[in-house]
Structure 1
Amino acid sequence: MVAVKPYLREVFKLLVFRDLIGRHGVAISSLGYYPNPLAADRDEANAAVAHLKQVIETSAALGINMVTTFIGRDHTLSIEDNWPRFLETWRPLIALAESKGVKVGIENCPMLYGLDQWPGGKNLATSPAIWRRMFADIPSPNFGLNYDPSHFILQHMDYTAPLAEFRDRLFHTHAKDARIDRASLDEHGVFALPKLWHTPKIPGQGDIRWGRFFGALHDAGFTGDIAIEVEDRAFEGSLEGRLDSLRISGRYLRQFIAG
């Protein structure tokens, strides 16, 4: 009975929460959790993996069936030297997700902005070359992408080119823009810390051509959810400013989305 009671309390909380969002007409596209499961600090990595398992199980229990997250990376090591830990960590996680009917969408953020993330960044899954290898080594249909075009602006890459090839792996998307300060980039160079020349913006106020992006997204047959992600400091000063960022983003993006 000692072990059962906490379990029943958790089940009750889930049922109450599921009823609450249902009564208010709220839809949740995914449970997002963005730690570093491959962190150099093994205690940090182990805690991230343990909680990620709980997130996967909770997503299934709530009927959301989608989790968005990072692969993680030991930023002190090369991609090649990270690969054995990637397989050791993620094969069981994806097997768990598949057994629960949950899809896991990996965001393509490099997580390389400051000195604490230098030199490799804290997320492996940043480019099509790495994605191909990931999906070849873990070919589960429940393993895919949470695609954010703004991270390609940071990496000076084409943000539409991968969509057709990875159409079957497009589980979820983020609508976030980014702006490159060319004068600062010319001053510091591309190998300087990105925070010196890169700024996240709300959709329509950065360098992404959203008509081009949505055209490629529609061509790829994507019908999933698009989540507005706000990291724009111009709107962070107040609650009203943060609400405005969502209103402005929503109005801008509706020209590309039916309904």
Structure 2
Amino acid sequence: MKTIKGPALFLAQYASDEAPFNSLDSIARWASSLGFKGVQIPSGDKRLFDLERAAEDLDYCREVVALLAGYGLEITELSTHLQGQLVAVHPVYDDLFDGFAPESLRKNPQARQAWAVDQLLLAAKASKNLGLTAHATFSGALLWPFLYPWPQRPPGLVETGFEELARRWKPILDAFDNAGVDLCYEIHPGADLHDGATFKRFLTAVNHHPRCCILFDPSHFVLQQLDYLSFLDHFRDRVKMFHVKDAEFNPTALQGTYGGYEGWVERAGRFRSLGDGQVDFKGIFSRLAQYDFAGWAVIEWECALKHPEQGAEEGARFVEDHIIRVTDKAFDDFAAAGTDEATNRSLLGL
């Protein structure tokens, strides 16, 4: 068994134009001071990281690694969540998702998609150059507007949607395979890969590609009322990344999973800072230890109530307390009888 690495912090929710969150050096110093041992870097934020340069310049990659090492930190993974979402966008969301792309590509879905694909290909190269083994992204969504079957979905719609999604992602998966990096889709509402059933559909559509993997974030399972511990049992060989994020679901007479269009504070299901929600993290960390999860425990802070800096400070301690130092001994070794094969056969009456 392996001991999970961590705690680490996803920097996307912290990056800003204000110090210490406006450069990789200063945000690394801050994260290190809280006890973090790793950082997950959003690849599209030039304040922190230059994806294009990292894909081509090994010296730049060495500089980034050395900078972080100076604060006792490692890069856990790069993220292309925003770029990955643009690989597949239903037209109804074009205007909303245009903000994820460079301004020059807005109102041009085909150019935006081509840019997104290129970003993923760059991320495969950059991950390899940095010596990383996993990468975080979203799948995008062609079918999300048809989530609820009313009006009734026409026959073949879902199958056609997943065939097209697979067609777009297969070359990207191949590029990550060539780089020796697992491509981990965060199972997330708003993406076509939002639960176990949709991941299975996609996995089939990409012919069980060896690099088609999962970023496990239990908070999204709580909001959908899914069994996240059984999910780990089912997909243990595909779960290669872990976002440690808490959530709660408290249905009322007025709303449930769909949320009634309420804001995050008023929703029945909402994200919370670590320890303030309902996720069974003892069960999750136990499962991951049991299944030899070799990755990082990366905090993704999202909370409707608590300040992010408090969430990071408390979260680092929370993860540290939950990481299981796996044993290299059997608890009943003291009572071992020390038998041999001949004795075993004798005990069996053979």
Segments of 5+ residues of structure 1 without an aligned counterpart are 1-5, 111-120, 237-241
Contact in 2 for aligned 1:201/1:232 (Cα 8 Å)? yes
The 5-angstrom pairing of residues 68-217 of structure 1 reads 68-74=136-142, 75-77=144-146, 79-110=158-189, 121=190, 123-138=191-206, 139-183=208-252, 186-191=253-258, 192-193=260-261, 195=264, 196-217=267-288
User: 3-state DSSP class of the match of 1:161?
Assistant: helix
d(CA) in 2 for partners of 1:87 and 1:179?
33
| 1:199-224 deviation line (CA, Å, top 9, x unaligned) | 11112111112222222333333232
Contact in 2 for aligned 1:21/1:27 (Cα 8 Å)? yes
User: 3-state DSSP class of the match of 1:178?
Assistant: strand
- Highest RCO, 1 vs 2 (Cα 8 Å, sep ≥ 6): 2
Percent identical among aligned pairs is 23
| 1:146-168 deviation line (CA, Å, top 9, x unaligned) | 10011111111111111122111
TM-score normalised by L of structure 2: 0.62
| 1:27-72 deviation line (CA, Å, top 9, x unaligned) | 1111012121101243333322221211121111111232101111
Closer, same or farther in 2 for the Cα pair 1:60/1:86, shift >3 Å?
same
User: 3-state DSSP class of the match of 2:135?
Assistant: strand
Is the aligned partner of 1:57 residue 2:125? Answer: yes
Larger Rg, first or second structure (1 or 2): 2
Closer, same or farther in 2 for the Cα pair 1:221/1:14, shift >3 Å?
closer
Contact in 1 for aligned 2:163/2:205 (Cα 8 Å)? no
Closer, same or farther in 2 for the Cα pair 1:12/1:210, shift >3 Å?
closer
**Aligned-pair distance for 1:137?**
3.0
Is the aligned partner of 1:32 residue 2:79? Answer: yes
**Aligned-pair distance for 1:246?**
1.4
**Aligned-pair distance for 1:189?**
4.2
Contact in 2 for aligned 1:181/1:197 (Cα 8 Å)? yes
d(CA) in 1 for partners of 2:310 and 2:223?
25
What letter is aligned with 2:293?
F
Closer, same or farther in 2 for the Cα pair 1:92/1:164, shift >3 Å?
same
Contact in 2 for aligned 1:79/1:124 (Cα 8 Å)? no
d(CA) in 1 for partners of 2:55 and 2:121?
19
Is the aligned partner of 1:257 residue 2:323? Answer: yes
**Equivalent position of 2:46 in the other structure:** none
**Aligned-pair distance for 1:88?**
1.3
Closer, same or farther in 2 for the Cα pair 1:17/1:156, shift >3 Å?
same
Closer, same or farther in 2 for the Cα pair 1:8/1:93, shift >3 Å?
closer
**Aligned-pair distance for 1:92?**
0.3
**Equivalent position of 2:43 in the other structure:** none
The alignment covers a number of residue pairs equal to 236
User: 3-state DSSP class of the match of 1:53?
Assistant: helix
Contact in 2 for aligned 1:150/1:177 (Cα 8 Å)? yes
d(CA) in 1 for partners of 2:56 and 2:246?
41
| 1:14-36 deviation line (CA, Å, top 9, x unaligned) | 33223323343321111012121
**Equivalent position of 1:19 in the other structure:** 66
Contact in 1 for aligned 2:251/2:269 (Cα 8 Å)? no
Provide the aligned C-alpha RMSD in A. Answer: 2.4
| 1:99-118 deviation line (CA, Å, top 9, x unaligned) | 011111110111xxxxxxxx
User: 3-state DSSP class of the match of 2:136?
Assistant: strand
